[in-house]
Amino acid sequence: MSRSFLPRTIREGLNKALGYLQSEQLDKALDCMIMALKELAKQSMSALKEAQPTIQRFLHAFEKHPRVRILLEQKEDVFASIPYRLGIEARLAVVLEGMAKILQEQAELSAKEDILAEDRQRQHYLMQTGLQHLEEGQIVLAEAFFQRLLTEFPQEKELLLACARHLEAAGYLEAACRFYEKILEIHPMLAEASSAAIDCCLRCKDYAMADEFFKHVLRVFGAHPKTLLRRAHLYVLMNRSEEASAMLEEALAKDPTLVEARALWDELHKPC
């Protein structure tokens, strides 16, 4: 029986690297080979010669792997080939480490892209199914699918706004108001939702709810003169003239040039 110059741990590492590569476990194969090469760099020439055939088999199969072939084509100026000769084990380990890092980054990017594609497909399904129920007049089911969108994809502001707008366009104003309210619970700074919610409440004459949205706007964005003017108009509709006057007084104090506020003030205070 011929004497082996390779330490058992290195021999096992090389064999594992080849085995992982053959079973399509590229990351594990690279880890094992890199560790083995670093240890080999410390060994005698006899040990290197003994390891050479296994390393060459590994590199031959490695270069043919689909992911590696793509990488070599993309980075041919960096990894034109992976030549191996005795004595460069440490340098080869560095090259393989660089490739392993790039391959890992590419795998992570691909996984993220797959997740995004799945998310887009799921979003499309929920939206289209909700719209189908909406067209059929099945408002409860439509709301349920829109609610799933909100629950599963709360970060998709435009998509959620689209749900509320679809409800509003279909004439389900109260349902739209409720959905705007849910959006604002998640995105209180979404001014577009606040404004649309107030308009929707005014359309369905839910003045109390409109006032709650005004409170939200004032709390989040502050007392802008035009916001105070719009709230004054609401109080006129609610026959709350004293509160309307208070809103107008505050609006004009902030912006005396607000013509519409002055006109509404004069209208509220004209002699009987």
At residue 29, the pLDDT reads 93
pLDDT at 75 over 70: no
**Confidence tier at 44 by pLDDT (50, 70, 90):** confident
For the chain, give the percent of residues with pLDDT over 90. Answer: 67
pLDDT mean over 29-33: 93
Cα distance between residue 59 and residue 93, in whole Å:
12
Q: Which of 4-8, 44-48, 219-223 has the lowest mean pLDDT?
A: 4-8
CB-CB contact of 133 with 142 (8 Å) = yes
Task: Give mean pLDDT, residues 62-85.
Answer: 73
Tell me the one-letter amino acid at 146.
F
Residue with the larger pLDDT of the pair 155 and 271? 155
pLDDT recorded at residue 72:
78
Report pLDDT for 1. 43
Q: Please state, for a pLDDT cut of 70, what percent of the chain lies above it.
A: 95
User: Domain extents for the chain?
Assistant: 8-111
Residue 68 is predicted with a pLDDT of 86
Q: Which residue has the tokens 């604002």?
A: 184
Q: How many CB atoms lie within 10 A of CB 69?
A: 12
3-state secondary structure of 139: helix
Q: Are 261 and 231 in contact (CB under 8 A)?
A: no
Mean pLDDT of the chain: 90
pLDDT in tens, 105-148: 988 998 999 999 999 999 999 999 999 999 999 999 999 999 99
Q: Please give the Cα distance from 88 to 129 (Å, whole number).
A: 61
* Predicted confidence (pLDDT) at residue 80 exceeds the cutoff of 70: no
* CA 103 – CA 89 distance, rounded (Å): 20
Mean predicted confidence (pLDDT) in 42-55: 89
Question: Comparing 44-58, 76-90, 117-131, 154-168, which segment has the lowest mean pLDDT?
Answer: 76-90
CB 40 within 8 A of CB 47: yes
Separation CA 227–CA 216 (nearest Å): 11
Q: Please give the DSSP secondary-structure letter assigned to residue 193.
A: H
Cβ neighbours of residue 58 closer than 8 Å, sequence gap 6 or more: 14, 17, 18, 21, 29, 33
